[in-house]
Amino acid sequence: MSICSFSNQSKFPFVLPALPYANNALMPFVSEETFSFHHQKHHNTYIVNLNKLIDGTELASLDLEAIITQTFGKADKIGIYNNAAQVWNHSFFWQSMSAPKSKVLGGEILKRIERDFGSFTAFADAFKNTGASQFGSGWVWVCEDASGKIVITKTSNADTPVTQGLNPLLTCDVWEHAYYIDYQNRRLDFLTAFIENLANWEVANQRLKH
């Protein structure tokens, strides 16, 4: 399933997707104030900037994933790439969360986690350690590789596994703007809240394709 079908913003002009839950639905783990900045200001700014940068160019006819893959690694397109990737990453991040413990771990994703990590505890520890060890801004991802193996990866700044041949199943934003209002410098506490209480395992199961 393409991210674009989640975010209802497949082509220019891109629009800020509504959150898939009320802005107080993730409390006490993510506050309304965090959403008022992170969704309404940070995410929206990436969308406004992307639209400005591609208006009147050939990229305006492409869908979001194509804009990302066609600008990746091109020095003269870095601004477009960064904004497009951040639009994608944030749209997917909102979908990666759900009201606390409302989308419980089960089904095929649980079988794969236990097969590939031994236990959910070992998987969750690997996720938290990977997110905590991302130096500076970035993202931590649960992905499926081409053989169907579940892998945990991290990316810097706007980078996304979409350009690395991996199928993202869930992501957590570890830019400071994602957690500073609620957790200050305690990134590990935010990652723990995400993987133990907020992760949307229904979305992860739906996105498995190998």
Contact set with Fe ion (CB under 5 A): 173, 175, 178
User: Rg (Cα) of the chain, in Å, rounded?
Assistant: 16
The least CB distance from residue 86 to Fe ion, in Å, is 7
Q: Distance between CA 116 and CA 108 in Å, rounded?
A: 12
The least CB distance from residue 91 to Fe ion, in Å, is 11
Burial (CB count <10 Å: 0-12, 13-18, 19+), residue 140: buried
**Residue 176 or 196 having the CB closest to Fe ion:** 176
Smallest CA-to-CA distance from 155 within 169, 171, 176 is with 171
**Residue 159 or 173 having the CB closest to Fe ion:** 173
The least CB distance from residue 46 to Fe ion, in Å, is 9
Query: Cα-Cα-Cα-Cα dihedral of 198, 203, 204, 210, to 10°?
Result: 180
**Residue 85 or 169 having the CB closest to Fe ion:** 85
Number of Cα atoms under 13 Å in the Cβ half of residue 206: 13
**Residue 152 or 178 having the CB closest to Fe ion:** 178
Instruction: Please enumerate in sequence order all residues whose Cβ is within 8 A of that of 87, keeping only pairs 6 or more positions apart, or say none.
Output: 9, 14, 43, 46, 47, 50, 64
Provide the 3-class DSSP secondary structure of residue 55: coil
**Residue 114 or 189 having the CB closest to Fe ion:** 189
Residue number with the shortest CB distance to Fe ion?
A: 173
Provide the 3-class DSSP secondary structure of residue 58: helix
Which residue has tokens 């945990």? 152
**Residue 65 or 173 having the CB closest to Fe ion:** 173
The least CB distance from residue 35 to Fe ion, in Å, is 11
The least CB distance from residue 120 to Fe ion, in Å, is 26
Instruction: Report in angstroms the alpha-carbon separations of 93 from 19, 39, 122, 206.
Output: 10, 10, 22, 15
The least CB distance from residue 90 to Fe ion, in Å, is 6
